[in-house]
Chain A
Amino acid sequence: MERLEPYLCIAPSLTVLAIFVFYPILRSIYLSLFLTDPLGNPKVFIGLEHYASQLSGTFLQSLLVTIKFVLYTVPVGLVLGLILALLAYQPLKGTRFFQLVFSSPLAVSAATGATIFLMMLNPVSGIVNYVMGLLGIGKVHWLTDPRWALWAVGMVSIWLRLGFNFVLMLSGLQNVPEELYEAALVDGAGPWARTWHITLPMISPTIFFALVVGVIHAFQVFTEIDMMTAGGPSNATSVVVFQIYQEAFRKYEFGAASAQAILLFIVMVFFTYLQFRLGERRVHYQ
Chain B
Amino acid sequence: MHEMGIALQIIEIAAASIPAEMKPVQVETIRIRVGKMSAVIPENLNFCFEVASKDTDVEGATLCIDEVPVVARCKSCNHQWTLSGPAFRCESCQSGDIELISGQELDIVSIEIAT
Chains A and B form a bound pair: no
- Which residues on B are within 8 Å of A, measured CB to CB? none
- Which residues on A are within 8 Å of B, measured CB to CB? none
